[in-house]
């Protein structure tokens, strides 16, 4: 078993067996494979169908202590990998590189901000912290267009009560309470009911920063679409957060 | 939908000719019209029979598009706006920019390769618009082919909007067309591809193209570079340097490191020392670039004096170092300022 960190060789490929694959939302899959290496939450792997086919990068979503590795991914129609990958079943196999990357949280207070499958590194970190997460001073703010875009939302709600917020920019009208405008007011004292804010992540975050609800000295870790990362990073800088406390991960 | 002929390679044209029942030599004739005679319609390919032209026109269009707008700088730089990405975005409007930079003894065209950019560099205006799509080889080359000053262009640099090596196939295809004898027949020494350091892309680029390579460094220190350029998480600079050090590099290929100098941040003696250590054994040069400030940035431009001191210190370490002249800043055409954010209608609503 290889180890995380600088010994990593991303050109090495491990042939791993699929334990299970599940479609967890429209166009979104969670793949579980045997774990051939150790890794740190926040690290990613290159995944391919064979030793020579094109690889794509994914953050690992599982607890590093698990015997399996979890990979959360979007199906990209016409893509080189995911249309094939999404058809694989238990017992079939894929190829993974060694883990690599330095998008790694530390022990201090942190605000994790994600959109879509960008929640994966934070899911891994939350799982690795297990019961310690309640005193670890971490927040997770997850943005999505609709209610079905908050992957592992129930698990995260259970793991991070009062510290996990889903910001739904276009909640389906049928899911809104009677008389609701579809937009929640910001409350600096408590999170909205069920940790669901009906409005844009950036709107909630702007008010949360103004109300100074995050611990002093928190690091901000951003993972998701390029648009979200640059937009939120600008907001944080405008709010006076030093840029050396902002860590951004990009998808490509 | 009809496909574009412009931007296709000779082997692709041969497949097209075969599939349409045209004589095999037609492919080379079409390439000649596209890339040497610079015609802008299939009808103008007059050494093809009328029947052949009709057959081609039934399935293909030229794919060339004139610039939608031009902005002229007081220093002579011109910024052209091109419509792009319409294939995957029906009803939406998307644009890219190209900058034409005339100088006394050369004229450079700076090409875009993506609509927006995914890389999220802290200092770049293109990054602030997010990513809206890849350009095809047709759209990359159209910025050159439809440029009013095309005939005076001496150098091409892939340094406009987007990360070229994140759009590898179309970029490599465009390089092939530029340098092939059946294409534009340009010397690769007149072309530079810039990257923030995508290692697999550099590997393929080095093996398939003879063009010059420019790598964005901006800091020799891992932690500092990570804050400026998120790509450092995935492709640390040391891996880029290891690759360059271990690659066979012909003497005519130039490797340069682009370095934006931020006031008070990345021009200390410690930076000089570390750059010299990292670049030992790599035949290269360092281009210092003035930071063109953008909204909401925590970064500052360096003063002229800071730039010169930094340059002299690097030179004293034996590193060939130049300060790149800023061009087109008044029309937002200078390095790091290209953006079509205001003109780009989103394909889908934002999820944040």
Residues B13 and B82 in one domain: no
3-class DSSP assignment, residue B320: strand
Task: Look at residues B61, B81, B104 and tell me which one is the last residue of a structural domain.
Answer: B61
Predicted confidence (pLDDT) at residue A7 exceeds the cutoff of 80:
no
Residues B43 and B81 in one domain: no
Whether the CB-CB separation of B97 and B140 falls below 8 Å is answered with no
Interface test with B, best of A60, A230, A243, A245 (most B CBs within 10 A): A230
Phi, psi of B274 (to 5 degrees): -70, -40
Residues B177 and B230 in one domain: yes
Print the domain residue range for B14.
Answer: 3-61
Q: Which two tokens stand for residue A117?
A: 């499958």
Q: What percent of chain A has pLDDT over 70?
A: 92
Task: Look at residues B30, B61, B92 and tell me which one is the last residue of a structural domain.
Answer: B61
Q: What pLDDT, in 10s, does the model give residues A25-65?
A: 999 999 999 999 999 999 999 999 998 888 899 999 999 99
B117 in active site: no
Q: What percent of chain B has pLDDT over 70?
A: 96
Cα–Cα dist B33/B56, whole Å = 14
Selecting from A115, A247, A248 the residue whose C-beta is nearest the C-beta of B351 gives: A115
Whole-number pLDDT of residue B248: 87
Residues B30 and B97 in one domain: no
Cα–Cα dist B194/B287, whole Å = 12
Strand ranges of the sheet holding A219-224, from the earlier edge strand across to the other edge: A196-198, A164-168, A138-144, A110-115, A219-224, A246-250
Whole-number pLDDT of residue B351: 75
Whole-number pLDDT of residue B344: 67
Strand partners, B116: B131
In this prediction, the residues of chain B whose per-residue pLDDT falls under 70 are 86-92, 344-349
Q: Which two tokens stand for residue B191?
A: 């072309």
Residues B141 and B193 in one domain: yes
Whether the CB-CB separation of A64 and A129 falls below 8 Å is answered with no
Q: Which residue has the tokens 């054994």?
A: B281
Cα–Cα dist A235/B342, whole Å = 19
What is the domain count for chain B? 2
Residues B178 and B268 in one domain: yes
CA distance to partner chain B, nearest, from residue A95 (Å): 17
Residues B36 and B106 in one domain: no
Cα–Cα dist B208/B9, whole Å = 15
Angle between helices B199-208 and B237-246 (to 10 degrees): 20
Whole-number pLDDT of residue A170: 85
Q: Which two tokens stand for residue A163?
A: 């510290």
- Tell if the CB–CB gap between A102 and B232 is shorter than 8 Å: yes
Q: Which domain CATH number covers B342?
A: 3.20.20.70
Whole-number pLDDT of residue A3: 44
Whether the CB-CB separation of A38 and A45 falls below 8 Å is answered with no
Task: Look at residues B43, B61, B79 and tell me which one is the last residue of a structural domain.
Answer: B61
Selecting from A149, A226, A237 the residue whose C-beta is nearest the C-beta of B118 gives: A226
B335 in active site: yes
Query: Which residues of chain B approach chain A closer than 8 Å at the C-beta?
Result: 116-120, 122, 127-131, 163, 166, 222, 226-227, 230-234, 236, 295-298, 348-352
Cα–Cα dist A76/A85, whole Å = 10
Helix (H) / strand (E) element for B168: namely helix B168-179
CA distance to partner chain B, nearest, from residue A121 (Å): 13
Chain A residues lying within 8 Å of B231, measured CB to CB: 250
Residues B83 and B48 in one domain: no
Selecting from A167, A249, A252 the residue whose C-beta is nearest the C-beta of B166 gives: A252
Whole-number pLDDT of residue B249: 87
Cα–Cα dist B141/B160, whole Å = 13
Q: Is the pTM of this model over 0.95?
A: no
Interface test with A, best of B121, B204, B351 (most A CBs within 10 A): B351
ipTM exceeds 0.95, yes or no: no
Strand partners, A93: A17
Whole-number pLDDT of residue B318: 96
Q: What percent of chain A has pLDDT over 90?
A: 71
Residues B52 and B128 in one domain: no
Cα–Cα dist B333/B73, whole Å = 8
Residues B90 and B210 in one domain: yes
SS3 per-residue string spanning B27-94:
HHHHHHHHHCCCCCCHHHCCCCCHHHHHHHHHHEECCCCCCCEEEECCCCCEEEEEECCCCCCCCCCC
3-class DSSP assignment, residue A51: coil
Residues B189 and B243 in one domain: yes
Predicted confidence (pLDDT) at residue A217 exceeds the cutoff of 80:
yes
3-class DSSP assignment, residue A18: strand
Whole-number pLDDT of residue A237: 93
Residues B57 and B190 in one domain: no
Cα–Cα dist B20/A130, whole Å = 63
DSSP sequence for B173-237: HHHHHHHSTTTT---GGGEEEEES--HHHHHHHHHH--SEEEEE-S-SSHHHHHHH-GGGGTS-H
Whole-number pLDDT of residue A174: 64
Q: Which domain CATH number covers B46?
A: 1.10.150.530
Distance of CA B334 to the CA centre of its chain: 14
- Tell if the CB–CB gap between B120 and A233 is shorter than 8 Å: yes
Predicted confidence (pLDDT) at residue A10 exceeds the cutoff of 90:
no
Predicted confidence (pLDDT) at residue A6 exceeds the cutoff of 50:
no
Q: Which two tokens stand for residue B207?
A: 């093996």
């Amino acid at each position: 078993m290889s180890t995380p960190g600088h010994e990593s060789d991303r050109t090495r490929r491990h042939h791993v067996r699929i334990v299970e694959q599940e479609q967890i939302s429209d166009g979104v899959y969670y793949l579980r494979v045997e774990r051939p290496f150790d890794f740190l939450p926040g690290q990613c792997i290159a995944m391919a169908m064979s030793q020579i086919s094109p690889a794509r990068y994914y953050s690992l979503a599982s607890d590093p202590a698990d015997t399996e590795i979890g990979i959360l991914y979007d199906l990209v129609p016409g893509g080189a990998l995911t249309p094939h990958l999404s058809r694989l079943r238990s017992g079939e196999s894929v190829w993974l590189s060694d883990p690599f990357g330095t998008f790694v949280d530390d022990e201090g207070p942190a605000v994790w901000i994600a959109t879509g499958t960008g929640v994966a590194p934070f899911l891994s970190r939350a799982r690795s912290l297990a019961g310690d997460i309640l005193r670890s001073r971490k927040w997770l703010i997850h943005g999505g267009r609709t209610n079905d875009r908050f992957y592992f939302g129930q698990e995260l709600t259970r793991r991070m009560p009062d510290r996990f917020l889903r910001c739904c920019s276009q909640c389906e009208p049928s899911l809104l309470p009677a008389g609701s405008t579809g937009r929640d007011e910001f409350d600096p004292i408590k999170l909205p009911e069920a940790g669901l804010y009906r409005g844009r992540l950036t709107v909630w975050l702007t008010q949360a920063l103004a109300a100074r609800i995050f611990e002093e000295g928190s690091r901000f870790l951003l993972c998701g679409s390029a648009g979200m990362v640059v937009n939120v990073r600008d907001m944080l800088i405008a709010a006076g957060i030093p840029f050396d406390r902002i860590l951004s991960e990009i998808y490509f | 939908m009809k496909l574009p002929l412009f931007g296709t390679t000779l082997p692709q044209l041969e497949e097209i000719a075969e599939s349409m029942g045209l004589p095999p030599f037609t492919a080379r004739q079409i390439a000649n019209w596209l890339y040497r005679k610079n015609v802008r319609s299939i009808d103008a390919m007059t050494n093809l029979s009328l029947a052949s032209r009709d057959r081609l026109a039934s399935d293909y269009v030229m794919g060339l598009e004139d610039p939608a707008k031009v902005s002229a700088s007081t220093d002579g730089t011109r910024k052209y706006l091109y419509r792009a990405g319409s294939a995957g975005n029906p009803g939406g409007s998307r644009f890219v920019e190209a900058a034409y930079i005339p100088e006394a003894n050369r004229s450079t065209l700076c090409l875009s390769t993506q609509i927006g950019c995914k890389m999220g560099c802290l200092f770049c205006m293109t990054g602030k618009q997010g990513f809206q799509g890849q350009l095809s080889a047709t759209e990359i080359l159209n910025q050159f082919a439809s440029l009013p000053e095309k005939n005076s262009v001496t150098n091409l640099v892939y340094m406009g909007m987007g990360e070229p090596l994140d759009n590898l196939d179309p970029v490599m295809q465009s390089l092939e067309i530029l340098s092939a004898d059946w294409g534009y027949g340009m010397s690769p020494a007149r072309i530079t591809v810039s990257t923030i350091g995508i290692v697999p892309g550099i590997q393929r680029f080095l093996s398939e193209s003879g063009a010059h390579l420019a790598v964005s460094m901006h800091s020799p220190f891992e932690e500092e570079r990570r804050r400026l350029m998120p790509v450092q998480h995935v492709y640390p600079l040391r891996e880029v340097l290891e690759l360059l050090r271990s690659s066979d590099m012909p003497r005519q290929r130039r490797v340069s490191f682009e370095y934006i100098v931020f006031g008070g941040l990345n021009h200390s003696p410690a930076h000089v020392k570390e750059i010299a250590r990292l670049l030992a054994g790599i035949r290269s040069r360092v281009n210092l670039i003035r930071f063109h400030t953008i909204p909401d940035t925590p970064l500052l431009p360096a003063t002229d004096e800071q730039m010169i001191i930094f340059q002299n210190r690097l030179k004293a370490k034996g590193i060939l170092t130049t300060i790149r002249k800023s061009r087109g800043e008044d029309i937002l055409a200078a390095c790091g300022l290209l953006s079509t954010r205001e003109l780009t209608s989103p394909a889908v609503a934002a999820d944040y």
